[in-house]
Amino acid sequence: MTRTLTWIREHLLAAVTVLVFVFMLAPNAIILWMSFNKPVGRFNYTWEQFSLDAWKNPCASNDMCQSLSLSVEIGLVATVVSTILGTMIAFAMVRHRFRARSGINGLLFLPMAAPEVVMGATLTALFFNTIGPGSLGFWTITIAHIMFCLSYVVVTVKSRLAGMDPTLERAAQDLYATPTQTFMKVTLPLVAPGIAAAALLSFALSVDDYIITAFTAGQRETFPMYIWGSVQRAYPAQIDVIGSMMLLVTMAVIALSQVLGRARTARR
Amino acid sequence: MTTTLSAPPAAPPSKGGPDRPDRRATLTPWLLLLPGLLWLVAFFLVPILTSVGASVQTGSADEGYKLTWHWGNYASAISDYLPQYGHSLLYSVLCTILCLALGYPVAYFIAFKGGRWKTLLMALVIVPSFTSFLIRTIAWKTILADNGPVTSTLRDLHVLKVTSSLGWTVGDHVLASPAAVVCGMVYNFLPFMILPLYTSLEKIDPRLHEAGSDLYCSPYTTWRRVTLPLSMPGVVGGTLLTFIPAVGDYINAQLLGNPNTGVVGQKIENLFLRQSSGYPVGSAISVVLMVGTLILVMIYIRKAGTEDLI
């Protein structure tokens, strides 16, 4: 009796897991499928017939590719600034003892816990009151993105730093390395994967953000804002092409880094 | 917060390295912290604090805004938008419960039955998010379309009749309904539930399960008495990571809902971006939303008994 119950329980668990995975992966499959569609009318929501048109001409809508490049520009600036500032904070938090630690921890935690719409609305209210509604644009978006990426960078780099073996740095100093040498030759290479992960996360957060961006953008249009507007205007198959490309490119990058990592460990 | 208190308030500067001069060792952390913290103070903390001031202003975009201590903004911020607060709360609570119900079995399966596929399965949880979440949310318009297989199956099984009579769907359609909104929200926030659940389940020694069954516990009792208590940090973390963004979310309500599924976020965005004199009331609503969320989260953390989470 118990055995049959266990059997049911174990297979129930597997069945639920499979169904949830179908639920989570279905939209990506639909996006890939619909990118080969030749839509009738303005909206690419229902399957009509197979076509490679959208893939052959992904920038058919000029606005879309412009918004995409704006998103990438903002993403790059936001990533560089937030990764540098966040890594500095992470080093201070892990390597130094000072007053007001818990207060600083709280300040770092809050942006991750505040609803996005609140951050967007309050920041825009500040911009309205100081520089005026007319000056919203590239830099206000970038300022906002750096703000919400910062905490995620700190968390990511901090966990890498905290898990590091401190004896390695002590060993370098025992071997008469100067503090600068120790940092450049020992500490930085060891933390680098954490910093890289933080930078990737920032870029992903920045490029994909809609809510805060919509508040701080003024007249500029980022890629998520373009998609948002497309629901009202026209939803071309090219959006699904870009969506599929995003997935395929990141999966290729991950696969490549796995292969390279495995090759490197094999060489050792 | 309790853990950080254990650090001595005036820590000896020698911690920074015994060979460094004291002055520099106490100064270095602040030099490292300052730029980032100033950024957060200027563009996160100050806006939130000043928005309390902005919420009692009157005026319009053309004439400019004046601080008139117009507390009436709060009266209209609360009484004019009661249905929207209700929807935000209902959808986000429902979304959190469904995410927990769907995410826990998945995290449990990956952690204990995943074997050598663990990493791949966890990657599959994250991989979908590489595509812009707006495109993925709009893909649900295709999946739940009126002539699609999902809707026709539900129609043939007479499920839609039941849900429509309960007000969760509208007529023969799944799209443009509260059910579609919650479905989209669950879809969007499920990874945020699975990740912390998996992290805390993965730490549990599987031998505890054997110990449970050795002591004549049924698998269910073992789960309830051993696994569940040990995975509570993941449950609390996951519910917070799901509920907090869900309560402010208006993407799903806008893309998958109808005019009767309005949520607070939509109203804030409308007041800020599409109405010339809406922004004081918009600020008041965001203050209400923020304070309300904070109170709910505090009560929840107090109840769940994991204050060291923050």
Domain count along chain A: 1
Nearest to B286 among A117, A144, A214 (CB): A117
A126 lies in which domain range?
Answer: 61-235
Are residues A115 and B129, on separate chains, in Cβ contact within 8 Å? Answer: no
Pick the CATH number of B82-309 from 1.10.3210.10, 1.10.390.10, 3.40.640.10, 1.10.3720.10: 1.10.3720.10
Could you tell me the CATH number of the domain that includes residue A216? 1.10.3720.10
- Structural domain includes residue A18: no
Specify the pLDDT at position B280.
84
Instruction: Say if residue A157 is exposed, middle or buried (CB neighbours under 10 Å; 0-12, 13-18, 19+).
Output: buried
Interface of B with A in 81-110 (CB under 8 A): 102-103, 105-106, 108-110
Residue-averaged pLDDT of chain B: 85
What angle in degrees, to the nearest 10, is found between the helix axes of A62-95 and A223-230? 130
Specify the pLDDT at position B3.
39
Specify the pLDDT at position B61.
61
C-beta of residue B187 within 8 angstroms of C-beta of residue B248: no
Are residues B289 and A117, on separate chains, in Cβ contact within 8 Å? Answer: yes
If residue B28 lies in a helix (H) or strand (E), which one and from where to where?
helix B22-40
**What is the value of ipTM here, to two decimals?**
0.87
Are residues B297 and A107, on separate chains, in Cβ contact within 8 Å? Answer: no
Residues of chain A scoring pLDDT < 50: none
- Structural domain includes residue A33: no
Specify the pLDDT at position A2.
72
- Structural domain includes residue A41: no
CA distances from B133 to A53, A121, B198 (A): 24, 21, 22
Specify the pLDDT at position B103.
96
B276 touches chain A (CB under 8 A): no
- Structural domain includes residue A30: no
Tokens of A64: 């879309």
- Structural domain includes residue A134: yes
- Structural domain includes residue A47: no
DSSP code at position A267: H
pTM of the model: 0.86
Interface test with A, best of B31, B40, B251 (most A CBs within 10 A): B40
Nearest to A31 among B37, B65, B135 (CB): B135
Specify the pLDDT at position B64.
65
Are residues A92 and B30, on separate chains, in Cβ contact within 8 Å? Answer: yes
- Structural domain includes residue A210: yes
Are residues B36 and A115, on separate chains, in Cβ contact within 8 Å? Answer: no
Q: Tell me how far apart the alpha carbons of residues B100 and A164 are, in angstroms, rounded to a whole number.
A: 33
Residues of chain B scoring pLDDT < 70: 1-25, 60-65, 305-310
- Structural domain includes residue A92: yes
- Helix, strand or coil, per DSSP, at residue B155: helix
